[in-house]
């Protein structure tokens, strides 16, 4: 029996594969589209049973050749570019693909744990897993919401476990391939290492410079939540996956700069000191993001806590520090 991880060479997917390996699980079918070949690096230190291209995997599913062969599916594969305007591509990749895989899992009584997104909430501020809170600002968010609605609509008919996880702003290891869609922590780290300063957006949406706030969650915690549901096949539903605390982009920048300073034996600085020394700079808010940008997110995690997940989440200060330490160690090893 195999575990399937779609999007296995991607950010969360690769971290899940590695976490399964750490549990002694190697019977893993890694599914992805390696048109972007650089993503292979995320799987180099992982052990898998097989790799399948997304289209080849779908054909095996549709032909019934995987019937009775799977233990669980982590469906992380998606186009996650929130600026993508090709709605047809987005719906095919994020919605139709997901429906096909879900119907297979339900028919086979195989647990399906899939990635949704906080993008379903758009500019709303309730952030609860209900229709009143949902109003996506882009077609990416809409594709995720439409699949969540499909899951809800047919929930009463299913006996297999189906869990949707609405990720908030995830940062951490194995995101380097994402380019401009990488986390702000990753961008801030690279900016500071290259130029000695980081750039944040000026104020927008009623927030002061750098004070736009998001629920930033470490991929370490995201993986732990996924594995919690794997261990509890009796639980189904759609759940927010965030820390439950909004923190500002300024706080992420300060944590990043101080992590780098600590590595060089320099003392920590407060935001005001960093601004005075031009270690943090503000740039104009991009026109293309106006009206399509979430200036504030904060997960309501009461449903997640209510189903039994009790582990504490890393704060920005804790998680970014750990992440930067690993990035610095990796850079040191590469330059050795």
Residue 140 falls in the annotated catalytic set: yes
Instruction: Produce one character per residue of 252-281: b if its CB has 16 or more CB atoms within 10 Å, e if not.
Output: bbbbbbbbbbeeeeeeebebeebbeeebbb
Q: Are 218 and 157 in contact (CB under 8 A)?
A: no
What DSSP designation does 272 have? H
Measured CA to CA, the distance from residue 106 to residue 259 in angstroms comes to 45
Give the SS3 label for residue 226.
helix
Helix (H) or strand (E) holding 13: helix 11-22
The pair phi, psi for residue 109, each rounded to 5°, is 60, 40
Kindly name the residue from 178, 199, 207, 282 that is annotated as catalytic. 178
> Residue 100: which residues within 8 A CB-CB, separation 6 or more?
58, 61, 62
Measured CA to CA, the distance from residue 208 to residue 217 in angstroms comes to 22
Side-chain half-sphere CA neighbours of 260 within 13 A:
21
Kindly name the residue from 95, 114, 121, 140 that is annotated as catalytic. 140
Residue 97 falls in the annotated catalytic set: no
Number of residues in the chain: 336
Question: How far is C-alpha 136 from the chain's CA centre?
Answer: 17
Query: Which residues does the annotation mark as catalytic?
Result: 140, 178
């Amino acid at each position: 029996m195999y575990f399937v991880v779609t999007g296995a060479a991607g950010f969360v997917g690769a971290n899940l594969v590695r976490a399964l390996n750490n549990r002694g699980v190697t019977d893993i079918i890694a599914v992805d589209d390696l048109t972007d070949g650089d993503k292979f690096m995320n799987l180099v230190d992982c052990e898998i049973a097989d790799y399948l291209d997304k289209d080849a995997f779908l054909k095996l599913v549709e032909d019934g050749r995987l019937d009775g062969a799977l233990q669980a599916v982590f469906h992380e594969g998606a186009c996650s570019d929130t600026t993508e305007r090709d709605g047809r591509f987005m719906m095919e990749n994020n919605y139709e693909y997901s429906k096909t895989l879900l119907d297979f899992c339900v028919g086979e009584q195989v647990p399906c744990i899939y990635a949704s997104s906080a993008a379903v909430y758009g500019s709303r501020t309730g952030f609860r897993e209900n229709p009143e809170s949902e109003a996506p600002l882009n077609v990416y968010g809409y594709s995720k919401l439409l699949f969540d609605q499909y899951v809800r609509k047919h929930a009463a008919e299913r006996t297999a476990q189906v869990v949707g996880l609405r990720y908030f702003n995830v940062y951490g290891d194995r995101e380097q391939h994402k380019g401009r869609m990488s986390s702000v922590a990753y961008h801030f780290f690279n900016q500071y290492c290259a130029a000695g300063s980081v750039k944040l957006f000026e104020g927008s949406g009623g927030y002061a410079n750098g004070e736009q706030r998001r629920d930033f969650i470490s991929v370490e915690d995201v993986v732990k939540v996924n594995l919690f549901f794997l261990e509890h096949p009796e639980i189904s539903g759609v759940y927010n996956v965030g820390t439950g605390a909004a923190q500002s982009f300024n706080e992420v920048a300060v944590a990043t700069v101080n992590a780098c300073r600590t590595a060089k034996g320099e003392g920590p600085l407060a935001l005001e000191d960093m601004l005075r020394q031009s270690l943090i700079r503000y740039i104009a808010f991009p026109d293309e993001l106006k009206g399509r940008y979430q200036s504030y997110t904060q997960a309501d995690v009461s449903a997640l806590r209510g189903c039994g997940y009790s582990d504490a989440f890393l704060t920005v200060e804790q998680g970014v520090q750990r992440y930067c330490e690993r990035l610095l160690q990796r850079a040191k090893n590469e330059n050795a």
